[in-house]
Amino acid sequence: MPIPLIQISGLEKAFSSNESWLSQWRFRHGKFKKHKDSIHALNGVNLTIHQGETLCVVGETGCGKSTLARVIMGLTTPSAGEIHYLDQRIDQLNNRQRMFFRRRMQMVFQNPYASLNPRMTVYQTLSEPISFHNPQLSQSQVDEKIDALLESVGISALSSDRYPHEFSGGQRQRISLARALSVEPDFIVADEPLSALDVSVQAQVLNLMMDKQEERNLSYLFITHDLAVVEHFATRVAVMYLGRICELAPTETLFQSPKHPYTQALLSAIPRLDSNTAQPIRLIGEVPTPTEKPIGCVFQARCPYANQRCYETSPPMTLQSDGSSVACHAIEEGRL
Amino acid sequence: MNLLSVSNLHVNFHMKEQELAALIDVSFTLNRGERIAIVGESGAGKSILGFSIVNLIGKPGYIKSGSIKLESKEITKMNLRQLQEVRGKRIAMIFQDPMMTLNPVLTIGDQLVETIRSHTKISYKDARNIAIEKLHHVQIASPEKRFNQYPHELSGGMRQRVIIASVLLLNPDIIIADEPTTALDVTIQAEILQLLLTICRDNGVALVLISHDLGVVSKVAERTLVMYAGHVVEEGPTLEIINDPQHPYTQGLLNALPQMTLPGQRLNQIQGSMPSLAERPTGCAFHPRCPYATQKCRQEQPKFIYSGVSSVACFLVEDMLNEFANNDKEIS
C-alpha cells in the first residue's frame, strides 16, 4: 500500500493582473467603475503524491503546471485549498514554521543558467544550505559532505572552486540537483529540468535522477511537456488543462488507452521516429487565458465532443475500471 | 543543376589569441523542392551552417574558404547589394524564437508590408492584400484583425505562423528553419511542422530544417545531415539514418531518446559532452566519447565515404567496408 506523502485538495490560485490601484478603474457607460482582472491559474486541483513515486504533470504552456509546483513549494500562497505533508497542513505556515518542510521538500528549476548564482562557486552554492540547515556540523564535515555530493552527481570534487559559467548545461543541471539533494529531502519538485538540454545530456540527467530515487526513496513531482520523457520516467501521470487535472492514470494505462479527448490529442502530437504513426488529432485554437473562472468543463472550447452539459457543469474526476481517473462528461455518458 | 551546393566550406572565428574553426570541410547539395535536416547537439555548428548559407555570419566569424552556390551564383563573393537580393527573396530564414524575430513596437501588418515593399515596388494597398492573403494561407483566423495587432497580442504558435507568412511573402526557393518549434508546445509543434511541410510541398520550396530533435526531423525531412563539432559525420536518407545509423555518434543520439529504452530502465547516454571549439581533440573529433575508438581515430581525421546506406566519416565503417571488399575479392 503506497503511503501518501503530499496531499492536495481543492487548490486554487488566482493572480491579479493589474497591480496598481489606478489601473483598476475602468471608464464604461459614462461611469468610472472599479474592476480587477485576475488570471485563474489553478481551479481546484486534487492530487496525491505517494512515497517513492514519480508523478509527472504534463500540459501545454499556461495550463498552470509551474504555478502548481510553486504553490506546493510555498513560493506563492494559494487562494484556496489545502496542502498536506504527511499529516500536517503546510499551506498557511509562516517562514519560521516552514523551515522544517523546506528541508524535506526541494526544487530543481528549469533553466540551470539562471538558477545557479553566477557569483558563487559550486562550493559556496552547496555549503550554504548544508551549514544553514545543519549548524552543528563542523567545517570539515561540511567539506566532506560536499565532496561526496559532487561525486555522487558525477562532478569531480576538484572542480568545487569553479563558477557556474565554467560548466556545461548538463553539468549545471546536475549541480542544481546536488544542491536540492544537499539537505537530504524526501520530495523533489522538478520544473521542466530537461527542457534546456540536448537529447544526450537529457539522458545523463534523467539517469541521475532515477539513480537518486532508488538510493534515497525520493518522491518526484516532475513537470514537463515532453511526453517521451514522461513515458519513460513516470509512475503516474497527471494531465493538466487550464488549471484543472483532466486525467490521472498510471503511465502505462495512460499511454496505451488515453481517455480524455485532450490527452488523446496530446499523445497523438508526439513526433515519433516510426513513420507509420497516425496523423495528429488537431485541436482547434490555442489554450485560452483563464481571465474568468471557468464554468463547466475547462476543455469545452477546443473539445470535439462538447455538448450543452459540458458548457454548464464541471465534470468530476471519476475512477475508471482500469485504474485511471478522468474528468469528462462524454466518457461518463458513454459518448466517447 | 542543384539549387544550392555547398562545397568544402570552412568557417572560422578570429579570436584574440587563436583561430577557432567552427565549420570544417562541410559539403552538401540541395535540390529544388527537397527537404533536408541538419541534426546535432548544441555547439555542433548547425546554426552557423544555416547562417553561412545566406552569408549572415557576423564578426569575429568569417568564411575562410569553400563555396556556396545558389544555382550558378557564388554567395560567398557577393557584395551587400547582391546579398540583399538573395536574402528573403531567394533564401528566407525562420529563427528559433518568434518573440525575438518580430519587432515588438511595430504591428504585424507593418512588418509584413515593409518586407514586401523593400523588395518590390508596389502600393501599400496591394502589399496589404498580399500580406493578408499570406496570413490566411498560414491558417491564421481573421487575418484582417491580426494585421493591426502587435506581436505581444499573439500566442507563441501564432507568432511562428506570422513569421512563416512573412517568409512566404516573396516566394523564396529555399527556407532555412533554425529550430522553428523548439520554443513551442507539442500540440502547437505538430501543427507548425504540418504547416511547414504542406507549404513546402505545395509551392515546391526547398527546406533546410535545423533541429536537435530526431523525432521532428523524421516527420519532415527526406535527407539528414548529422553534425558533430563542425564536421558533417553522416549524411543520407532520413529513414535509413534512423533505422540503420552508421556513425557511432548518430547511434548514440538515437539511443539516448527515451523511446529507445524500456520504461523505468536507465537511458543509454553518450558519455561526456561536445568539446568547445578551442578544445577540439585531434583525429576524429568524436573519439573521446566513442566506445569503439582506436589509436587510428585519435590521430587521423576519417574521410567521408559512402557505406551503401549513407555517407559516413568513421574509420570503423571504413574498415568494415574494406574487409567486405577483401572478402569479396578472395571469394572471386
Tens digits of residue pLDDT in A193-221: 888 777 778 888 888 899 999 998 999 99
pLDDT at A199 (0 to 100): 79
Confidence (pLDDT) at A37: 73
Distance, in Å, from the CA atom of B293 to the CA atom of A74, rounded to the nearest integer, reads 50
Distances (CA, A) of A151 to A133, A174, A175, A178, A271: 21, 11, 10, 10, 36
Element (H, E) at B56: none
Mutate to test the interface with B, among A167, A199, A266 (most CBs of B within 10 A): A199
Nearest to B269 among A200, A225, A233 (CB): A200
Q: What is the span of the domain harbouring residue B45?
A: 2-90+173-261
A271 and B219 within 8 Å at the Cβ level: the answer is yes
The pLDDT assigned to B112 comes to: 93
ipTM of the complex: 0.72
Instruction: Tell me the β-bridge partners of B227.
Output: B232
Contact A222, A56 (CB under 8 A): yes
Closest CA to B299 of B319, B321, B315, B276: B315
Look at residue B128 and tell me if it is in a domain: yes
Q: Which residue of A has its CA nearest to B261?
A: A232
Q: B330: buried, middle or exposed (CB in 10 Å: 19+, 13-18, 0-12)?
A: exposed
- pLDDT above 90 (res A57): yes
* Three-class DSSP labels, A230-249: HHHHCCEEEEEECCEEEEEE
Q: Which residues of A touch B264 (CB under 8 A)?
A: 210, 232-233
CA distance A277 to chain B (A): 10
CATH of the domain at B191: 3.40.50.300
Gap between the Cα atoms of A162 and B73, Å rounded: 49
Pair B59, B126 in one domain: no
pLDDT higher than 80, residue A21 = no
Find cell 497580442 and name the residue. Answer: B153
B180 and B246 share one domain: yes
Whole-number pLDDT of residue A83 = 93
Q: What are the chain B neighbours of A207 within 8 Å (beta carbons)?
A: 266-267, 269
Statement to judge: residues B117 and B219 lie in one domain: no
Question: Residue B187 and residue A266: Cβ atoms within 8 Å?
Answer: yes
Q: Which of A200, A215, A224 to mutate to test the interface with B (most CBs of B within 10 A)?
A: A200
Q: Are B198 and B23 in contact (CB under 8 A)?
A: no
How high is the pLDDT of residue A18?
Answer: 63
Residue A287 pLDDT class (50, 70, 90 cuts): low
**Rounded Cα–Cα distance for residues A157 and B183 (Å):** 35
**Which residues from A are below 8 Å from B216, CB to CB?**
271
- For residue B214, the chain A residues in CB contact (below 8 A) are 199, 273
Which grid coordinates belong to A60? 501545454
Say if residue A272's pLDDT is above 80: no
Res A232: pLDDT = 87
Query: In what helix (H) or strand (E) does residue B220 lie, and over which residues does it extend?
Result: helix B214-220
Give mean pLDDT, residues B193-211.
Answer: 91
Set of chain A residues whose Cβ sits within 8 Å of the Cβ of B273: 168, 170-171, 200-201
Residue ranges of domains in chain A? 4-99+224-332
Query: Of B212, B201, B171, B213, which Cα lies nearest the Cα of B35?
Result: B201
Q: Which residues of A touch B219 (CB under 8 A)?
A: 271
| A-B C-beta contacts closer than 8 Å | 110
Q: How many domains, chain B?
A: 2
Average pLDDT across chain A, whole number: 86
Give Dmax over CA atoms of chain A in angstroms: 72
Fold assignment, A4-99+224-332? Rossmann fold (3.40.50)
Taking residues B46-75, what's their average pLDDT? 89
Q: Are residues B23 and B166 in the same domain?
A: no
Neighbours of B86 (CB within 10 A): 20
Q: Rounded distance, CA A36 to CA A289, Å?
A: 15
pLDDT at A284 over 70: no
Mean pLDDT of B222-237: 93
CA distance B259 to chain A (A): 6
User: Exposed, middle or buried: residue B181 (CB in 10 Å: 0-12, 13-18, 19+)?
Assistant: buried
Question: What are the cell numbers at B82?
Answer: 547582391
Last residue of a domain, one of B154, B171, B188: B171
Contact residues, chain A to chain B, C-beta under 8 Å: 60-61, 168-171, 198-204, 206-207, 210-211, 225-229, 231-233, 251-252, 265-266, 268-273, 275, 280, 282-283, 286-287
Residue A39, Cα to own-chain centre: how many angstroms? 18
Per-residue pLDDT, averaged over B50-57, amounts to 89
User: A130 versus B98: which is more confidently predicted?
Assistant: A130
Query: What are B's interface residues with A at a Cβ cutoff of 8 A?
Result: 41-42, 155-158, 185-191, 193-194, 212-216, 218-219, 239, 242, 252-254, 256-259, 261, 263-264, 266-270, 273
Q: Residue A230 contacts by C-beta under 8 Å, 6 or more apart in sequence?
A: A56, A58, A222, A224, A237, A251
Domain end marker among B136, B171, B206? B171
Residue A277 in this model has a pLDDT that exceeds 60: no
Reply yes or no on whether the pLDDT at A278 is more than 70: no
Contacts of B41 in chain A (CB under 8 A): 198-201
Residue B225 lies in a domain: yes
Copy the grid coordinates of residue A291: 481571465
- pLDDT over 90 (residue A91): no
Q: Give the per-residue pLDDT at A306.
A: 85
Percentage of chain B lying above the pLDDT 90 cut: 40
Q: Which one of B187, B196, B259 would you mutate to disrupt binding with A, by most A Cβ within 10 Å of its Cβ? A: B187
Percent of chain A exceeding pLDDT 70 equals 95
Same domain, B69 and B207: yes
Residues from chain A contacting residue B190 (CB–CB below 8 Å): 268-269, 271, 280
| Comparison of pLDDT for A182 and B157, the residue scoring more | A182
| B14 and B79 both lie in a single domain | yes
Residue in A113, A273, A299 to test binding to B, most B beta-carbons within 10 Å? A273
Do B119 and B184 sit in the same domain of this protein?
no
Contact in structure between B140 and B86 (CB atoms under 8 Å)? no
CB-closest option in A171, A252, A271 to B216: A271
**Which among A180, A190, A174 is positioned nearest to A104, based on CA atoms?**
A180
Beta carbons of B41 and A199 less than 8 Å apart: yes
Smallest Cα distance from B17 to chain A, Å: 19
pLDDT for residue A159: 85
pLDDT reading at A280 higher than 80: no
> What is A38-62 written as a DSSP string?
EEEEEEEEEEEEETT-EEEEE--TT
The nearest CA of chain A is from the CA of B187 a distance in Å of 5
Q: pLDDT-derived band of residue A276, with 50, 70 and 90 as boundaries?
A: low
Residue A138 confidence (pLDDT): 92
> Dmax over Cα atoms in chain B, in whole Å?
75
Provide the pLDDT for residue A62: 78
Q: Is residue B323 part of a domain?
A: no
What type of residue is A270? Answer: I
- Residues B127 and B62 grouped into a single domain: no
Peptide bond into B98 cis (omega under 30): no
Tell me the nearest-neighbour CA distance from A329 into chain B, angstroms.
23
Closest CA to A336 of A298, A314, A310: A310
Q: How far is it, in rounded angstroms, from Cα B124 to Cα B102?
A: 20
Closest chain A C-alpha to B72 CA, distance in angstroms:
36
pLDDT band at B304 (very low <50, low <70, confident <90, very high): confident
A242-A246-A248-A254 Cα dihedral, nearest 10 degrees: -110
Contacts of A268 in chain B (CB under 8 A): 190
Across the interface, do A272 and B267 touch by the CB < 8 Å criterion?
no
Looking at the fold, whether B6 and B125 belong to one and the same domain comes out as: no
Average pLDDT, chain B: 89
Closest to B280 in 3D by CA, of B6, B12, B9, B8? B12
Last residue of a domain, one of B261, B287, B316: B261
Q: Are residues B144 and B224 in the same domain?
A: no
User: Which of B33, B4, B31 minimizes the C-alpha distance to B204?
Assistant: B33
A269/B189 Cβ within 8 A: yes
- Asked if residue B81 and residue B197 are part of one domain, the reply reads yes
Under the banding of pLDDT at 50, 70 and 90, the label for residue B312 is very high
Which of A47-51, A225-229, A302-306, B151-155 shows the highest mean pLDDT?
A: A47-51
Closest CA in chain A for residue B265: A232
Element (H, E) at A333: none
Same domain, residue pair B177 and B167? no
Q: Which residue has the cell 524575430?
A: B101
Neighbours of B266 (CB within 10 A): 12
Tens-digit pLDDT profile for residues B106-135: 999 999 999 999 888 999 999 999 999 999
Note the pLDDT tens digit of each residue in B255-273: 888 888 887 788 888 887 7
pLDDT score recorded for residue B213: 83
Residue A274: closest C-alpha in chain B:
B218
**CB–CB of A199 and B190 under 8 A?**
no
With cut-offs at 50, 70 and 90, classify the pLDDT of residue A274.
low
Distance from CA of B71 to the nearest CA of A (A): 32
